[in-house]
Amino acid sequence: MKKVLLSAMVAAFIAGPAMAETVRMGTEGAYPPYNFINDNGQVDGFEREVGDELCKRANLDCVWVVNEWDSIIPNLVSGNYDTIIAGMSITAERDEVIDFTQDYFPPSPSVYMSLSGASVDLKGGVIAAQTSTIQASYVADSGATLVEFATPEETVAAVKNGEADAVLADGDYLNPIIAESNGALANAGEVSIGGGVGMGIRESDGALKAKMDKAITSMKADGSLNTLIKKWFGDDANTF
């Protein structure tokens, strides 16, 4: 019996077919229109379309994986998936831990959203932001009181129930929410922070980074990236 168990264990460790190149794409799935889980339970959004197209051009077999924003970098470096494609702005701080491809989405302004008619002190009030985002560090430096939440959803809820005076997040995420609030929510100011959005890749994975960079360059060159940006973010969105 012991021998059977042992050999079964050894087999479990050794078994495994030859590799085709499969790339696991890690995303948050809670940040429309960048990425979200649609009503069919599938990852959807701008990054889904860009990611699938990049994989096609780089001749990779891509699988989508959803992971909490909080632990999205630790799980990349420990190898649970191979890329982060989750609306992540390229910053020097993150670049110390992981590598980024060139940007596939140009810098776009962040927006403060508050209840309509409220006068918000953006430098001294209570501002909500999602944990570990460029917006959260901006608010912390601005002198305002920062309240952090794990998901973008909760930052918006905090403004609605009065816990925070305003929320700072990417305009592309907040603008549809403002537009569909029937006037209950309003834009309370804009700031330009952060660079473009790039795909996060392990520092030791230079080969994948080169492939993705090449695919992004080709999508920029033939205009297909701009078409997708316009499709998901409207005709006024910044393009390349």
Partner 1 sequence: MFNYCADPSLIEGLQWLSCYITTPKHMSFYLSFGVVLLLIALAAPIAMGFGFAGAVASRSQRLGFRLLGHGYLAMIRGVPDIVFFLFIPIALDQAFEYLRHQLLCPDVTAPIRQGNDFVVCSAAKLPLSTADQWVHEIYGFALALLAFGVVFGAFAGNVLAGAMAAVPKAQLETGEAFGMTQRQIFRRILLPQMWIYALPGLSNLWMILIKATPLLFLLGIEDIVYWARELGGLKTNAFTYPHPDWRAWYFAVLMVFYLSLTYVSQSILDWITHRLSHGQATMAGKG
Please state at what angle helix 46-57 crosses helix 224-233, rounded to 10 degrees. Answer: 170
Nearer to partner 1, 65 or 140 (CB): 65
- Token output for 192: 């330009």
What distance in Å separates the CA atoms of residue 25 and residue 55, rounded to the nearest whole number? 10
Contact positions with partner 1 (CB under 8 A) in 99-138: none
Q: Which is closer to partner 1, CB of 24 or CB of 214?
A: 24
Q: Which stretch binds partner 1 (CB under 8 A): 58-66, 113-121, 134-142, 186-194?
A: 58-66
Q: β-pairing, 22-27 with 43-44?
A: unpaired
Pairing mode, if any, of strands 197-201 and 83-84?
A: antiparallel
Q: Least distance (Å) from partner 1 to the CB of residue 65?
A: 8
Question: What string marks each residue from 1 to 20 as x (binds partner 1 by CB under 8 A) or -?
Answer: ------------xx-xx-xx
Report the nearest approach of partner 1 to the CB of residue 207 (Å): 12
CA 54, chain centre distance (Å): 16
Cβ nearer to partner 1, comparing 82 with 122: 82
Q: Looking at 4, 39, 183, 236, which residue binds partner 1 (CB under 8 A)?
A: 39
Q: Which of 48, 57, 94, 202 binds partner 1 (CB under 8 A)?
A: 202
d(C-alpha 229, C-alpha 41), whole Å: 23
Q: Alpha-carbon distance 123 to 144, whole Å? A: 5
CA–CA separation, 24 vs 35, rounded Å?
A: 15
Name the 3-class secondary structure at 50. Answer: helix
Identity (one letter) of the amino acid at 168?
L
Among 5, 15, 49, residue whose Cα is nearest residue 226: 49
Among 7, 8, 56, 79, binds partner 1 (CB under 8 A): 79
Residues 220-239 that bind partner 1 (CB under 8 A): none
| Residue from 8, 121, 204, 231 in contact with partner 1 (CB under 8 A) | 204
Among 107, 109, 176, 189, binds partner 1 (CB under 8 A): 176
- Least distance from partner 1 to the Cβ atom of residue 1, Å: 18
Q: What DSSP string runs through 19-46?
A: PP-EEEEEE-SEETTTEEE-TTSSEESH
Given the rule CB under 8 A, which residues bind partner 1? 13-14, 16-17, 19-20, 22-24, 29-30, 32-33, 36-41, 45, 61, 63, 65-68, 75, 77-80, 82, 97-98, 151, 153, 156-157, 160, 176-177, 180, 202-205
